[in-house]
Amino acid sequence: MESLVTPSLRVWGLPLGPLETNCWVLACRATARALVVDCGDEPSDVLRLAEAESLSIIGFVATHWHADHIGGMAELQRVTRAPLSIHEADADEAARKQIAAIVFLGRIPEPVRPGRMLRDGDPVTVGEVALRVLHTPGHTKGGVCLVGGGVLISGDTLFAGSVGRADLPGGDWDELQRSLLEVLVPLDPELIVLPGHGPSTTLGTELVTNPYLSGAHQPKRSPSPPP
């Protein structure tokens, strides 16, 4: 489990499920209210963390509709009764039964019921901390990142040293490149990047070392891993 502290947030990263998808739990330091981003599996781990740290879960956000990011959300919603937010372009897919997920999750997850449809620029608050929704299509049509409180939750848009795939249903490499170069590159390089898979990094590090952002190499094809 990865953890970090910013001036306004406490953050925990739980790699869950067979694909070790990062579930990020963000808690306002002033209020202990918490937001859960991307729980793809093992929701009991999230609930145990919340209990151990005396957190009050007030909501969930899915960065996109893929089952390894939302497969545990239905159970968390049932237990906490907190609402789930997802971009409007991914809402229909999230509400469908993802039968193909049995291949990599070993089960067919229960579909989720979004309570809020997100759009670019929308605020998402956790206690006294305001996050902003960035619509970053490319991995899926409704992929989003969240920025605020010193962090950038990048979902499967940006990873340490790589970027998300665009060869899955709803993916588009040209859109992903626009999301990376026009939406993420201009952000504060001091931001801590919390990706959907793999270790955290900083945007400044990625601007210098990530070939998909640095300008040293602008590939014409999508990378394959991670998912």
Q: What is the spatial distance between Cα 4 and Cα 26, in angstroms, rounded to a whole number?
A: 10
Contact 163, 155 (CB under 8 A): no
pLDDT digits (tens, 9 = 90+) for 128-174: 999 999 999 999 999 999 999 999 999 999 999 999 999 988 899 99
Ordered by where they begin, the domains of the chain are: 2-209 (3.60.15.10)
pLDDT digits (tens, 9 = 90+) for 64-117: 999 999 999 999 999 999 999 999 999 999 888 777 777 677 777 788 889 999
- Which range, of 8-12, 108-112, 157-161, 190-194, averages the lowest pLDDT? 108-112
- Give exposure, 7-45, as e/b (b: 16+ Cβ within 10 Å): ebbbbbbbbbbebebbbbbbbbeeeebbbbbbbbbbbeb
The pLDDT, as a whole number, for residue 220 is: 45
How much is the mean pLDDT over the chain?
92
pTM: 0.92
In DSSP notation, 4-27 reads EE-SSEEEEEEEETTTTEEEEEEE
Angle between helices 43-52 and 73-80 (to 10 degrees): 40
Could you give the percent of the chain with pLDDT greater than 70? 94
Q: Say which residue the tokens 């939302």 belong to.
A: 70
Q: What is the spatial distance between Cα 154 and Cα 145, in angstroms, rounded to a whole number?
A: 5
Contact 180, 217 (CB under 8 A): no
The pLDDT, as a whole number, for residue 225 is: 46
